[in-house]
Amino acid sequence: MEEIVLGIGITALAGALATVAGAAEDTESDIGSQGDPNSQVQLAPQMGYIHRIFNKAISGEPPAYGAWCVIGAGVAWALMQINFNPALAIILGSAIAVFVQGIYCTSGYLGRTASLAKFQQPVYIDIIKSLTSVTMAHAFVAIFCTVAMCYLMASALHHPFALPLLGLVWGIALGAAGSATGNPFYGKERQYQNQKFGAGVPISASGNIVRYAEAGQRSSLDNGWFTTKFAGPASGICFGLIVFLELWRTVLFEKLMSGWGAIIMGIVLILIFTFIDRWIEVWGRKTYGPYVTEEASS
C-alpha cells in the first residue's frame, strides 16, 4: 500500500514537472521560431518580405528536444557516476545542454540568413544578442524539468531504462507533443495575425508574415508573451497528461487482473479522450457553422 502511495506521489510530481516542461518548450520554440512555422519565416524574404524574426533553423522540435534532453540526462548520469549529488548533477547537465542549444540557435540563424543574401535579407546581430539568452532560459526550464522527471522515473519508480535512454525517449515525446499543440497557434494566429480570424491562411498569402508589430517592428521576443496566452499552457497540459496518465495507469493498475488492469485502463482513457475530441469537433461545427451555406458548396 505504501508503495502505491509513494508511486502516486511521484507520479503527481512527474506530471507537474512535465506540465511545466511542455509549457516552457513551446514558449522557447516560438520565441526562437523553430519547426514547421519557421518555414514561413524562411519563405518571407524570398517573397520580398524582409523581417527581424529569429530564424532558428534547427531541424524540428522532436529531434531537437530529444538531443537537448539526452545531453542533459547523459551528463547528469555521468556526473552521478562520479558521485555528484543528483540535484547538482541534473542542474549541471541541463546547463551544459542549454549551452549546446544556444550555440545551435546562433549557428542556425547565421547560416540560414547568410544563405538568403540573394534576397537582401540582412543578418541582424542585435536579434542574436537579445534573444539567444531568452530562448536558452526557457529551454533550461524545459530540459531541467524533463531530466528531473526522468530521474524520478529511473530511481523512485524503478523503470528498467537507464537515465540517458529515458531522457531521449521523453525528450522526443516532449518535442512531439509541444510541437503538435503549439505550432498552429503560433503559425496562424501570430505570424498571420493580419489574416481574418476563424479561417486558415489562403495559399496566396504565403510568405506575407506580420513584420510590423503593435508599436515598431515585430521581434520574436514578444512571441513569448503571446504563446503563454494559450499555446504554452495547452502544450503543458498535453505533455503533462501524457506523462501523468502513462505513469498513473501503470502504478495503480499494473497489479490488477494479473497485469491487464493497466491495459484496460489505457483503453478506457483512449475512449474518454475520443469522446471529448468528438464533442469538441461537433461543438466547433455547430457553433461556428459552415463558411458558405451547404447548398452553395455542393
Partner 1 sequence: MTVKVEASAGKLPHNTLMIYGIIVALVGIYLTYLNVVTGVAVFSFFGGIGAIAALWWGSDTIKHLCSYGLGTGVPSAGMIAFGAGTIAMIAGTKFGIFSPIVTVILAAIIGAVIGYVANNIINMNIPVMVMSLVELSVVGALTMLGFAAMCTGTFMFNGLVIGGMTLSMEPSAAAAGGVQTFMVTVIPEFAGSLIGGAALAVIFFIGAMALQHPFNACLGPNESQDRTLMLAIEVGFLSMLIVAVMSFAFIDMMSAIVGLIVALLGWIYSYKTYIALSKRDAFAWLDSKPIIEVGGNQ
Partner 2 sequence: MSALGGAAAGGDGINPTGTAVGIVILLVSIAATYALGFSIIPLIGIIVGGALIGFGVHFVPVGGAPAAMGQAPGIATGVAMLAAGAGLAGLFGGAWAYEATGDFAIAVVGGAVGGGLMMAITCLMVNATYVFAMGIPAASGKVDKDPITGDTFPAYKSQGTEGHGLPFISFFGGVVGGFITGLGGTLIYIELLDVYHAALPTIMQADPAAIEPLAVSLAGIFAIGFFLVNAVLAAYNITGTIEGPHDPKFKRVPRAVIGCAVASAFCGFISMLILVNTGM
Residues 33-92 close enough to bind partner 2 by CB under 8 A: 35-37, 39-40, 60-63, 66
Using rule CB under 8 A, residue 259 touches partner 1: no
Which range, of 100-108, 141-149, 173-181, 217-225, touches partner 2 by CB under 8 A? 173-181
Compute the least distance from the CB of residue 279 to partner 2, in Å. Answer: 10
114 is a site residue for partner 1 (CB under 8 A): yes
198: CB partners within 8 A, 6+ apart: 288
Q: How many residues bind partner 2 (CB under 8 A)?
A: 88
Cell of 214: 503593435
Burial-class residue 254 by CB neighbours within 10 Å (0-12, 13-18, 19+): middle
Rg of the Cα trace of the chain?
Answer: 22
Q: Go through the chain and tell me how many residues it has.
A: 298
Euclidean distance between CA atoms 34 and 112, whole angstroms: 13
CB-nearer residue toward partner 2: 91 or 143: 143
Restricted to residues 204-233, the positions that interact with partner 1 (CB under 8 A) are 206-208, 211-212, 217
Residues 97-136, one symbol each (x = binds partner 2 by CB under 8 A, - = not), give: ----------------------------------------
Q: For residues 4-63, which are near partner 1 according to CB under 8 A?
A: 39, 42-43, 46-52, 57-60, 63
Give least dist CB 184 to partner 2, A.
6
Q: 243, 202 in Cβ contact below 8 A?
A: no
CA nearest to 146, candidates 54, 251, 76: 76
Torsion angle of the four alpha carbons 17, 22, 27, 33, in this order, in degrees rounded to the nearest 10: 140
- Asked if 147 is part of the footprint of partner 2 (rule: CB under 8 A), the reply reads no
From residue 208 to residue 247, what is the string marking binding to partner 2 with x (rule CB under 8 A)?
----------------------xx--xx-xx--xx--xx-
* 183 sits near partner 1 (criterion: CB under 8 A): no
Cβ pair 186, 30 in contact under 8 A: yes
